[in-house]
Amino acid sequence: MGEFEEGGFQGGGFGEREKHKATCSECGKECEVPFKPTPGREVFCTDCWRKRKPRRF
């Protein structure tokens, strides 16, 4: 089975996802994301994503 790493569950037989370098649209910090960023669309680092994401109860 896979391991839990920052940002979510990794593994489970699907292999490692390719990471792409990006700059967070909110704080400007360099980060890596599991998708190829599209010009004109916002990208958020893990910390800013958590702040923006609605809380689940």
Say if residues 6 and 46 touch (Cβ distance below 8 Å). Answer: yes
pLDDT confidence of residue 1? 47
Residue from 12, 44, 46 nearest 28 by CA: 44
CB proximity list for 1: less than 8 A, separation 6 or greater: 11, 12
Mean pLDDT (the chain) is 80
Question: What is the tens place of the pLDDT at every residue in 3-17?
Answer: 444 555 555 556 678
Does 35 score more than 50 pLDDT? yes
pTM (two decimals): 0.62
Structure tokens, 4? 């839990």
Element at 3 (helix H, strand E): strand 3-5
